Amino acid sequence: MLGLLAILAVSLCGLAAAPLWSVPLAAAGLASVSYARHSVLFRRAADLGMQDAIEQTLLGSVVNSLAASLLAYGCGAALRLLALGWP
């Protein structure tokens, strides 16, 4: 639920023409939620010596959260442009 709230917040930022730095903040929030949900699995994998897999998974999570935040911001900005017309 917190992940959806972060995506909604960044899409509202795009709708309200907030600065673009809200995208990395939302991405950090999404990546934090993902890490919190899977921290037990990361600890188990670390105990088994799977550090490379953990790093690749975390990097993929950060990239996915950045992409989701950027697309949500873009959708909010597109709705703003559709509602107000092209400047």
Give me the domain span that covers residue 48: 2-84
Q: What is the pLDDT of residue 84?
A: 85
Does the pTM exceed 0.75?
Answer: yes
The confidence score (pLDDT) of residue 75 equals: 95
Helix, strand, coil fractions of the chain, as percent rounded to 5: 85, 0, 15
Number of domains in the chain: 1
Tens of pLDDT, residue by residue over 8-27, are 999 999 999 899 999 999 99
The string of pLDDT tens digits covering residues 57-85 is 999 999 999 999 999 999 999 999 998 87
Cα–Cα nearest to 42, from 29, 57, 64: 57
